[in-house]
Amino acid sequence: MQRDDTTRFLIGSRVSHAKFGKGDIVGRQGLGDAMKLEIRFEDGATRLLAVAFVKPL
């Protein structure tokens, strides 16, 4: 993870995941490479994913 990822993945930011599609960040846990994002996807499901598996939109 790059140093500026903590500011790129703010609550309310939009992200994309290869399998789950697009979603909004609703929570964050941890810092750096250990950061996990709680994301509410367009299908209504909320999932906790490692930051390495999502891309900012």
Q: What phi, psi does 18 have (nearest 5°)? A: -55, -40
SS3 47: strand
- Residues 9 and 51 sit within 8 Å (Cβ to Cβ): yes
Q: What is the pTM of this model?
A: 0.87
Q: What total number of domains does the chain contain?
A: 1
Length of the chain: 57
Residue type, 37: L
Q: pLDDT digits over 1-57, tens only?
A: 445 566 789 999 999 999 999 999 999 999 888 899 999 999 999 999 999 999 999
Q: Which domain holds residue 40?
A: 5-56
- Residues 29 and 36 sit within 8 Å (Cβ to Cβ): yes
CATH number at residue 37: 2.30.30.140
- Residues 17 and 23 sit within 8 Å (Cβ to Cβ): yes
